[in-house]
Structure 1
Amino acid sequence: MELEKKIVEHNDLIMSSAKMDIVPLKIFELAVAEIDTFNPPKDNTIYLSKKELFKFLDVKDSNKNNRFKQAVTKMQKQAFFEIREEKGKGYVFRNIVPIPYVEWNSYDDKVKIRFDMAIMPYLTELKNNFTQFALTDVQGLKSKHAIIIYKWLNMNYNQFEYYKKSGNRDSNQLYELRNPTIEIDELKWLTDTQNEYVGRFNNFERYVLKNPIKEINENSRFRVSYDKLREGRKIVKLQFHISLKNENVIEEVKSAEKPLTLSEAQASPYSQLLMGALLITFNDMQNEKLMLKLANKVYPRYDAFVKKYSLDALERHLKYIKQHSQNIKDLVVYLDNALTDYQKRLVNDSNRKKNKAGKSPVMKEKLPDWVTDEKTRKNVLTEKGIKKNEEIDELLAKINKDK
């Protein structure tokens, strides 16, 4: 078995609560690395090497077999994943013992491991919403919390890398994936520490955050830091900052533009204009999702419009929208499309005025007097006209004589 293998797991499993300590969790991760997702194992069974298993678990004492036996017994009797999937108006919870069967003997190097059938969809049915990470990174982590946080960080960073290449996310969405935020209660659920480190935040931070982050920085491809976010005096969220160790720091700072906050969106003059035009209400101003959408998608376009035309033109446009709009289902999309249509109309109007101002009046060329008979208004250069016009006859006769 090579330790350079990859572990691939569904994101729902990464977002589950691991009810086990470090040894069962490491055995599970090592076993998952043996699964070929394109060719799932028959009977959900894989084989590990005892030698490599002990190396992965960093077991060095002489009583390796006994320690392994204790770890397997504990894993089968106590360890499970509590998987939470969002369904409809709430969540569906599943408790799954991942490895119910392990077989080994005293004279052979092989360890037979059979996964529970309920866990297999999270390991093999991976068409979307899955995360891949290095087995060697997990090998270097010494605590359960470090593995759980590392997997969660990987999930976010892998999405950042994917969407950065595909171009399907804007700069603010990319920032959120590279600098993901998690509520303290959610992190406690993931690490199964709801009933531990109760009271002061310091102990929780030390054992669930500082020490694990130090392990991740020392043993994985990541360089990670975090900020504590407060509501009043209470710390309610954490924001992690992820970068690669071999990454150019200058490039990293340049690409990680800080996204707008709700208060910044509320303070925008365009928010005041929308309120003045009665397109949003005070309650809408408290809607973080709506206001950030407006600030990220619509307001930059308003900036460009005002620069090209004027603030008065934008204000007239918004008042016009209010007067002629009914049953707006998605305000952001509506305002975006309305501005596009308005700009097209302004361009067309401008082109028409230019064309009108630039054209010289069409002047009909005035024919010489001698060409037209004043009484009949007929062209005297016709055969009939020549016969009737004596002056022209004389002129022609003179011309002929001169020849």
Structure 2
Amino acid sequence: MLIIPEKQENQKQVLTLNELSKRKVVEHNSLITSIAKMDKTPLKMFELAVSCINTEEPPKDNIVYLSKRDLFAFFKVSDNDKHSRFKEAIEKMQKQAFFQIKEEAGKGFKFKSIVPIPYVEWTDYHDEVKIEFHREIMPYLINLKKNFTQHALSDIAELNSKYSIILYRWLSMNYNQYEHYSVKGGRRAEQVEAYRNPLISVKELRVMTDTVADYKRFTHFETRVLKEPLDEITKHTSFNVTYDKIKKGRSIDSIVFHIEKKRTADDNSYKLEDTAYQEDKARKAETEDKLAIEAMKSNYTTLLLENMLLSPFEMQDTKIMAGLQVHVYPLYDELKNLRGLNGVKDHLSYVASKQEAYSKRNVPKYLKKAIEQYLPTVKRQDLNNE
């Protein structure tokens, strides 16, 4: 029996269709919003190739390998002419297809035109296809720490229109941010909702879909670039999408999309994570309420109100009151033990006289800083007296 040793270096990993169906496409947002100067086949081939990149261990030579058999299956090509059609798609991608990327640079913008896959190698007698990415496209595909979008390759596989793919990628970019900030926080409620209901001007949409010179009549543009693609996206992907037209004068100025994600059995992990987050949030809110109630009963709160260091309106804010109870009032207890309640009153009277320096947007922080600066002075005075 002949035993062929396993390759230890530069081993080629040819991915199967089953593996591809589970893969995600990860791209920088600048690439998502760029102008894809290509039709649907090169664009889908690019997305397919990107899904094969291991972002944790990116290929040093910018090369990935695909199975030709599974690549045809991904494109649902089964006729006898598939090899010549594959060759034609490759040639078109290399000769005509490129991304036009617009990025902020200094006081203006920097524009880049990048042919994403300049080299593809295959033979008519072997199943393997070698795909090499252009070095300039790689920063948009690897080492992505922020401003990136992840979407399912299986969704892209079902889309048969260039506009469907472009819109799906852009909608995914917005919905990813909605999911992120819904769980992690860091945005106001209206900002979070805006990610789920993204707005784009018709002018920007025409640029992104490369239809500035096409479909001059809005009715034609709406049918080809909005209605038909969104029907396809809703039918074949994880999103249900509708839209509204916003007028400015007599013409349609902008489009606002409404994205809803379809729930499946695979969402259990997300639901569990979301439930745990909500439970933790509820526990924190309950603790905050208890601390706020304690603070409202404190004599120190009365003194702050008398010295106009706390307003009745701020007193209704549980976050402010809880902050006082945890971070400030224990320090007032220390001062009270050293100088009595009159010592606390004198301190607050002095702080009130200097309150032009105090930001009312963060009462606990200001008062905590004031008492922390004062306490060491009191302690030194007491030591000197001893």
TM-score when scaled to structure 1?
A: 0.62
Distance 2:154 2:361 in 1: 52
Q: Tell me which of 175, 178, 191 is aligned to 1:173.
A: 191
The equivalent of 2:6 in structure 1 is none
Counterpart selection for 1:116 from 127, 134, 143:
134
After the TM superposition, which parts of structure 1 deviate over 2 Å for at least 4 consecutive aligned residues?
304-308, 337-341
Aligned partner of 1:221: which letter? S
Counterpart of 2:222 in structure 1 is 205
Deviations 1:194-243 (A, max 9, x none): 11011x21000000000000010011111100111111111111100011
Q: How many angstroms does 1:125 deviate by?
A: 2.3
Aligned with residue 232 of structure 1, among 249, 255, 266: 249
Structure whose alpha-carbon radius of gyration is higher:
1
Write the deviation string for residues 160-211 of structure 1: whole angstroms up to 9, x where unpaired: 111111111111011111100011111111111111011x210000000000
Counterpart residue type for residue 259 of structure 2: I
CA distance in 2, matches of 1:131, 1:307: 42
Q: Does 1:141 align with 2:169?
A: no
**Whole-Å separation in 1 of the counterparts to 2:239 and 2:57:** 30
Which one of 12, 32, 37 corresponds to residue 14 of structure 1? 32
Give the Cα separation in 2 of the matches to 1:135 and 1:11: 17
From 170, 174, 191, give the equivalent of 1:152: 170
Match 1:101 to one of 107, 115, 119: 119
Amino acid in structure 2 at the alignment position of 1:43: D
Cα distance, 1:340 vs. partner? 6.5
Matched, 1:215 2:267: no
CA deviation profile, 1:14-57 (whole Å, cap 9, x unmatched)? 01000000000011000001000111113111111111111111
CA distance in 2, matches of 1:64, 1:80: 24
Pairing 1:44-59 to 2, within 5 Å after superposition: 44-59=62-77
- Offset at residue 88 of structure 1 (A): 2.1
Q: Does 1:241 align with 2:251?
A: no
CA distance in 2, matches of 1:25, 1:188: 18
Deviations 1:62-96 (A, max 9, x none): 11100000000010000000011011222100000
In 2, the alpha carbon distance for the partners of 1:202 and 1:246 equals 33
Aligned length: 263
- SS of residue matched to 1:43: coil
Alpha carbons of structure 1 residues 66 and 231: separation in structure 2 relative to 1, 3 Å = same
C-alpha distance in structure 2 between counterparts of 1:339 and 1:114, whole Å: 54
Q: Deviations over 1:289-336 (max 9, x none)?
A: xxxxxxxxxxxxxxx94998xxxxxxxxxxxxxxx999xxxxxxx9xx
Aligned CA distance change for structure 1 residues 113 and 339 (closer, same or farther; 3 Å): closer
1:74 is the counterpart of 2:92: yes
Deviates most, 34-43 or 113-122? 34-43
SS at match of 2:61: helix
Q: Which of 33, 47, 55 is the matching residue for 1:29?
A: 47
Q: Which residue of 1 aligns with 2:78?
A: 60
Q: Which letter does structure 2 place at the counterpart of 1:156? A: N
Q: For residue 116 of structure 2, give the secondary structure of its aligned residue in structure 1.
A: coil
For residue 42 of structure 1, give the secondary structure of its aligned residue in structure 2: coil
Match of 2:149 among 109, 125, 131: 131
So what's the TM-score if we normalise by structure 2?
Answer: 0.65
Q: Secondary structure at the match of 1:124?
A: coil
| 1:37-48 superposed matches below 5 A | 37-48=55-66
What is the root-mean-square deviation of aligned Cα atoms in Å?
Answer: 2.3
Does 92-101 or 81-90 show the bigger shift? 81-90
Query: Structure 2: 5+ residue runs without aligned partners?
Result: 1-15, 265-311, 317-354, 368-386
- Equivalence map 1:341-360=2 (5 Å): none
Q: Percent identity?
A: 53
Look up the SS of the partner of 1:188 in the other structure.
Answer: helix
Instruction: Look up the equivalent residue of 1:136 and give its one-letter code.
Output: S
